[in-house]
A and B are shown apart, each in its own frame.
Chain A
Amino acid sequence: MINYIIRRLGYGVLILIGVNLFTFVLFFTVNTPDDMARMNIGGKRVTQDAIEKWKVERGYNKPLLWNAQKPGVEKITDTIFYERSVQLFAFRFGASDSGRDIGHELRQRVGPSIALAIPTFLLGIFVVIVFSLLMVFFRSTYLEFWGVTLAVFLLSISGLFYIIVGQFLFSKTLKLVPISGFSGGWDLFVFLALPIVIGIVSRMGGEALFYRTMFLEEVGKDYVRTARSKGLSETTVLFRHVLRNALLPILTSTVAVLPLLFLGALIMESFFGIPGLGSYTIDAINSQDFAVVRSMVFVGSALYIVGLILTDISYTVADPRIRLS
């Protein structure tokens, strides 16, 4: 087990190196620092002086991989690759193109992101399981038919509509919650209520259908028939037997996305003005701040890899028949 995890971690580091090289090629050789400067300063007629000044201010004027002018180790360390890519492995993100410290920003913003993401995630799982179990409980009736119809309909609506209509209905017309914003203390609930509800509703359709097929598959199995023939009520069969067994694949599939919750919800945060990592990313893309985008790519991939490893481990914890080797 320990051996296996160490091996997986090693593989994870390999993947991270790959991601790092890939983003480096993408951001520095395909798109040269000159291009970045031109886009950032804006306009077609940018003088070469302005570009050079921009690059010096942000340390992009160094050679990419090999600095021949410097002595000793600095030949390698005083380059863009070392300062901008290798340093990421120590979680030193450096300054963004607008001059602020990225690491500090990340620490500041991870709190609000989690405050939104975790309730959405937990409540979402609960609501979806209840919804899909009810569909299975009323299977082969009109209730199930309309449940599936509702789910398919919810699935076909763009998430943006839920947000826009939700803000219009609950914030503007009914004035129940503020349109957007964020603050600490008890006000937090007021600000987060609507984004959480919308986050759940917009995910509900697809996941409820997925869970329903899992439950239905389980309902057809022999042990369920045995439980029924023992004379157990349908509710006991569903909630005691079926739910527990179907939870295995569900839990293992949700573990993979757990670490990604730290990244925040891109669209939701920017619509509701929550100062989390999601809105940070969107702002960075809009202002073409490549340093932030690169850091977020790195953090995102690292979290994804943690998710992969957690999934593997959760398999063994949830199902003792599986041995990792």
Chain B
Amino acid sequence: MPKLVFLATDIALYVLIAVIAFYVWHALRTPTLRQTWRSVLHDPAAMSAGVVLAIFLVIAMLDSFHFRPLLPPAPGAPADAAPAYSTRTLSVLDALLAGPREAREKTYSVPLGTHQFSKESMLVDGKSVRDFPRLQFGGAHLKDPATEWLGDVLQRSAIGIVGGAVAAVVLWMVISALRARSAGTGVTESLRAIWNRTTEVPWRAMLLTATVVALLAGWVSALWPYYHVFGTDQTGNDVLFQAIKSIRTAVVIGSLATIATLPFAIVFGILAGYYKGRVDDVIQYVYTVLSSIPSVLLIAAFVLMIQVFIDKNPQLFDTGLERADIRLFLLAAILGITGWAGLARLLRAETLKLGELDYVQAARAFGVSDTGIMRRHILPNVTHIVVIVAVLDFSGLVLYEAVLSYVGVGVDPTTNSFGTMINSARNEMSRDPVVWWTLLAAFSFMVTLVLSMTLFASAVREAFDPRARAFRVKRSKPSPKGAAVAVASAAS
């Protein structure tokens, strides 16, 4: 039985999932919220992005269950000796991807390569020659890479893509069958409805996105056991594996940092707007001071501080991973502490407005306590702002992490993250020939994540705040609704 390890960020992510689940349950019970979220559910772009985000989230969660494997008992140890655990902490994802994780080469190799990127002295037939040595794992099953390589790659790709296509077809069938059962129609009819986009939920867009993902996943899973799909980095680690591991870091930074701002922003924003006067002055003063300090410098100061703390107290952390993780956790917390001013300002303004409304005045006249009014009457009516800001901030934070890592105040250098990947790839662009694959891997994963989140966030914002149509392009000419309003106003 391996020893389970709960890292600080793991627990925070579980809590996050619990909070999201609670919010979903709450939204399902509240008719107005259900109505609002329905407009997100009916937005094709947002739902396609949602499919991608869900996949990223699953990967991040798989990477968040950690354990230390049980070591085989030492030879000659008594039968009742305490079990010994490995000093390396692994996650479920690590265990699933054990193949590529352990397939370490010596140094750089190109994507799908069979030979090392740099020459080395080797002994061939007793003579010393300088040549590109074969990789230990990538394409190791080929006898003569020069002739077999292309055929092998094409064949495996074809198998993988066909496998992905089959999975996609099954998915289309399952969804239309499920729809058919609940609607009481035939499967073909349901499939046609999906294809003609007459369904309420944009199933076609979602299924097309899932199809693309399935094809890519099929292709990768057919090649990955035999080749390094995205090549290897300077120390010979598989780049694709690093990119997948980086997803968790991005999700942790994006979500935890946002969550960390919420308590400060909600409490101070509502207090300032509700009590006004002195309380307002003090709170405004505090957040103006915080926001007037350039954020990179403030974060740098805090991060140098926690680094001193970690260096001084090495006995608190059992493994290197735990030490790196506490830094990630504290970094998210710091981003929260330094970043709550914007949301607090919005909440204060909204609370000022709400405080003057009749129902709040009535509650006060009935003798409801101040805390009661803030909790029951103000907080529920500012939640939409919190939700909008939370989803909008996510993308920005993921991008910010890369900048912070470049400055040297980001995550621990041993943590896989898009920032550390870009950082290591940066210097290699001046090599000749260029080492481009690390950068490409980080780029494609990061753009996919950030773009999906941006699209999803904009749909959420539109649902909660119909005036903000940031990305919406109106295709039609002046709508009949507008004409009707004009007629109505002319008539009155």
Contacts and interface: CB of A to CB of B under 8 A. Distances in A.
Q: A and B from one assembly?
A: yes
Interface of A: 14-15, 18-19, 22-23, 26-27, 30-31, 35, 39, 44, 139-140, 144-145, 148, 152-153, 155-161, 164, 167-168, 172, 209-210, 213, 216, 260, 263, 266-267, 281-282, 285-286, 288, 290, 293, 296-297, 300-301, 304-305
A148 B471 contact: yes
5 contacts: A39-B307, A145-B475, A290-B304, A300-B293, A300-B297
B426 interface: yes
Given A168-B434, A297-B293, A300-B293, A266 B455 contact: no
Given A26-B301, A164-B426, A209-B470, A301 B443 contact: no
Contacts of A35: 308, 312
Interface stretch (B132-140, B207-215, B444-452): B444-452
A298 to B, nearest CB: 9
B422 A152 contact: no
A31 B296 CA distance: 18
A210 B297 CA distance: 27
A152 B455 contact: yes
B288 interface: yes
B446 A158 contact: yes
B127 interface: no
B473 A140 contact: yes
B180 interface: no
Contact of A156 (B293, B294, B406, B450): B450
A23 B301 CA distance: 9
B141 to A, nearest CB: 35
Sorted from nearest, which 9 A-B pairs have the closest CB atoms? Answer: A300-B294, A18-B289, A156-B451, A301-B292, A156-B450, A304-B292, A285-B300, A145-B473, A158-B402
B399 interface: yes
B99 to A, nearest CB: 30
Contact of A282 (B311, B407, B418, B477): B407
A228 to B, nearest CB: 12
B297 A293 contact: yes
B395 A296 contact: no
A282 B409 CA distance: 10
A225 to B, nearest CB: 10
B358 to A, nearest CB: 29
**Do most interface residues of chain A lie in helix, strand or loop, or is the interface mixed?**
helix
B285 interface: yes
B98 interface: no
B223 to A, nearest CB: 26
Interface string B446-471: 11001100110000000000001111
Interface string B264-281: 000000000000000000
B403 A160 contact: yes
Nearest to B425: A164
Contact of A285 (B292, B308, B407): B407
A102 B289 CA distance: 23
A172 B430 contact: yes
B429 A144 contact: no
Contact of B395 (A31, A156, A167, A209): A156
Interface in B281-303: 285-286, 288-289, 291-294, 296-298, 300-302
Interface residues of B, number: 52
A195 to B, nearest CB: 16
B301 A27 contact: yes
A168 B428 CA distance: 11
A305 B285 CA distance: 12
Nearest to B473: A145
B469 A213 contact: yes
Given A27-B301, A140-B477, A297-B297, A152 B429 contact: no
Contacts of B285: 14-15, 18
Interface string B294-334: 10111011101101100110000000000000000000000
Contact of B406 (A152, A267, A296): A267
Given A152-B455, A156-B454, A301-B293, A293 B474 contact: no
Contacts of B289: 15, 18-19, 22, 301
B147 interface: no
B454 A297 contact: no
Contacts of A301: 289, 292-294
Given A14-B285, A158-B399, A285-B407, A263 B294 contact: yes
Given A156-B451, A160-B403, 12 more contacts: A18-B285, A19-B293, A35-B312, A148-B471, A158-B399, A168-B434, A210-B470, A266-B407, A285-B304, A293-B301, A297-B298, A304-B292
A172 B427 CA distance: 13
Nearest to B453: A156
B406 A26 contact: no
A196 to B, nearest CB: 19
Contacts of B312: 35
Contact of B468 (A31, A153, A167, A213): A213
B305 A26 contact: yes
Contacts of A18: 285-286, 289
Given A18-B289, A140-B477, A267-B403, A281 B297 contact: yes
B305 to A, nearest CB: 5
Contact of B422 (A153, A160, A282): A160
A263 B294 CA distance: 9
B408 interface: yes
A296 B399 contact: no
A15 B395 CA distance: 30
A155 B301 CA distance: 28
B292 A39 contact: no
Contact of A153 (B286, B451, B474): B451
Contacts of B399: 158-159
Contacts of A209: 470-471
Contacts of A297: 293-294, 297-298, 301
A311 to B, nearest CB: 13
A139 B422 contact: no
A254 to B, nearest CB: 17
A296 B294 contact: yes
Given A22-B289, A159-B399, A139 B474 contact: yes
A9 to B, nearest CB: 14
Contacts of A158: 399, 402-403, 418, 422, 446, 450
